[in-house]
A and B are shown apart, each in its own frame.
Chain A
């Protein structure tokens, strides 16, 4: 069933997936719990799940240089949309997946989208995943996004995930789980900005199961106003592996940030490191940019912009 896109919808799509009009190649656009348009390509097949709401995306082995778009938009208040998207990525692929959810809520009722994304990455495949979450609308209704991301990397697979939530999401609980086989590598980058009275919780559990597997977790966040953020990244090393967790937060106003990076080793050859830092914008950064002609406000905005870039 096709649904027409309004200017608000198009604005949301541009914000979360940098989409202007329908993309080329494989895509699936979902609005208010319904399919807007779908397109499979020669090597990427998208089909509706039969047991739960959502889609299966099957990428044929050896597919290279293709991008799949699966954005979701919610403009209806009072809607709770739960969707399961499962990616089966064949061996030796090199693909990019662009997901994301934009909520426009103009009323006083809550809008919620919970996306459960699972990735099965075949041997030696390379996947870049980009997910942007964004909320807008003049209503007082809550905009809630609770994504769950599960990643399974087979031998030699490489996956780079960038998960970004920059504005307008009232509350989020993000769960990310990963299991890595031998020589697999995962780079998890999370960027969060919360403001007003928003809350964000991010839980990550990365299990390094195979010899030579490695993970790099980079979390950068800005907490403004009265917002609250909690980070719980955990890396477990069960073989000769390498793991690095880095949580870096800028705190402003009356915000609260709690970072509890964890590492667990069950192999004497596991090399795991974590670091966490929370602090306000350094005064010398603002002063430097002011000596280059920026106002204090412009300097602050520039520093945050770069920090989250």
Chain B
């Protein structure tokens, strides 16, 4: 079980003060639960995920994992406790083979068959991927799917996926949705937190958490929240995104000699 208590995360603002990205957020994610965090861009979703993994350190507040205070714990130790993280924009590694990355994720040498299975679950249905390098020779969508495969291979107790659908084509997305549905069906004490804007992923959730301005605005089942999210998409009520004042353009600062 993951418990976030009065979590605050601030960054320095342009005016010399601070800006709150996560604002006194309290949230509990029980075991065996499929949670989707959604909400407008800039609402603090990715930051929240990074705070859980330990990639960012909270300004104040507490994070408990299975009752243990992990607020000051390193990324490595959290990983060893069973927290996994699928990056929105995955890193690339020159010289590292896909197979090696999957082995590192699993913490052991994986049989080829198992590797192929992880890859096919993310729609990479060719064994030739195993010997490819995770570098710029792979497309964005391929790297993204390999990233998700590493989390499948790692099989953490709590898996956080930051926008797994971003950069993935429609056909692969179908396969991915199926995979998340399967994980959901056989979750076996494991929890999944997915940050997503995708209706089809949101529909899979046991619980939807709507995050805005660094705060949990609402939680509920898809049945309860989906209609409201639908409105939000059309901007019909206060879930919509208000138009902000355009930033002032300093034309003199934009170079015109290219």
State the A residues within 8 Å of B (CB). 220, 248, 282, 284-285, 287-296, 302-303, 306-309
Complex alpha-carbon distance, A293 and B90, angstroms = 16
B contact residues, total (Cβ < 8 Å): 26
| Inter-chain contacts of B76 with A (CB < 8 A) | 290, 293-296
| 23 CB < 8 A contacts A-B | A220-B95, A282-B91, A284-B87, A285-B93, A287-B55, A287-B75, A288-B87, A288-B91, A289-B104, A290-B75, A290-B76, A291-B85, A292-B107, A293-B76, A293-B107, A294-B76, A296-B76, A303-B93, A303-B96, A306-B96, A307-B93, A307-B94, A309-B95
Chain A residue nearest to B74 in the complex (CB): A290
Q: In the complex where A291-B53, A291-B79, A291-B85 touch, is A308 in contact with B91 (Cβ < 8 A)?
A: no
| Inter-chain contacts of B104 with A (CB < 8 A) | 289, 292, 294, 302
A sample of 6 more A-B contacts (CB under 8 A), given A292-B105, A302-B96, is A287-B75, A287-B91, A290-B74, A291-B53, A307-B94, A308-B95
Complex alpha-carbon distance, A291 and B105, angstroms = 9
| Inter-chain contacts of B212 with A (CB < 8 A) | none
| Inter-chain contacts of B150 with A (CB < 8 A) | 292
Q: 4 tightest A-B contacts by CB?
A: A306-B96, A306-B95, A290-B75, A284-B91
Q: Is the CB of B79 within 8 A of A292?
A: yes
Main secondary structure on A side of the interface with B: helix
| Inter-chain contacts of A290 with B (CB < 8 A) | 74-76, 79
Question: Which residues, 79 to 122 on B, are CB-close (under 8 Å) to A?
Answer: 79-80, 83-85, 87, 89-97, 100, 104-105, 107
Question: Which residues, 168 to 208 on B, are CB-close (under 8 Å) to A?
Answer: none
Closest chain-A Cβ to B52's Cβ sits at a distance in Å of 11
Complex alpha-carbon distance, A292 and B107, angstroms = 8
Complex alpha-carbon distance, A296 and B91, angstroms = 15
Closest chain-A Cβ to B90's Cβ sits at a distance in Å of 7
Chain A residue nearest to B79 in the complex (CB): A293
Complex alpha-carbon distance, A100 and B140, angstroms = 40
User: Which of B55, B84, B87, B94 is in CB contact (< 8 Å) with A306?
Assistant: B94
| Inter-chain contacts of B94 with A (CB < 8 A) | 220, 248, 306-307
Asked if B145 lies at the interface with its beta carbon under 8 angstroms from chain A, I say no
Q: In the complex where A292-B150, A294-B104, A306-B100 touch, is A285 in contact with B79 (Cβ < 8 A)?
A: no
Complex alpha-carbon distance, A288 and B143, angstroms = 13
| Inter-chain contacts of A282 with B (CB < 8 A) | 91
Complex alpha-carbon distance, A284 and B90, angstroms = 8
Q: In the complex where A289-B104, A291-B84, A293-B107 touch, is A307 in contact with B79 (Cβ < 8 A)?
A: no
Closest chain-B Cβ to A97's Cβ sits at a distance in Å of 24
Complex alpha-carbon distance, A291 and B90, angstroms = 12
Asked if B144 lies at the interface with its beta carbon under 8 angstroms from chain A, I say no
Complex alpha-carbon distance, A288 and B154, angstroms = 13
| Inter-chain contacts of A308 with B (CB < 8 A) | 95
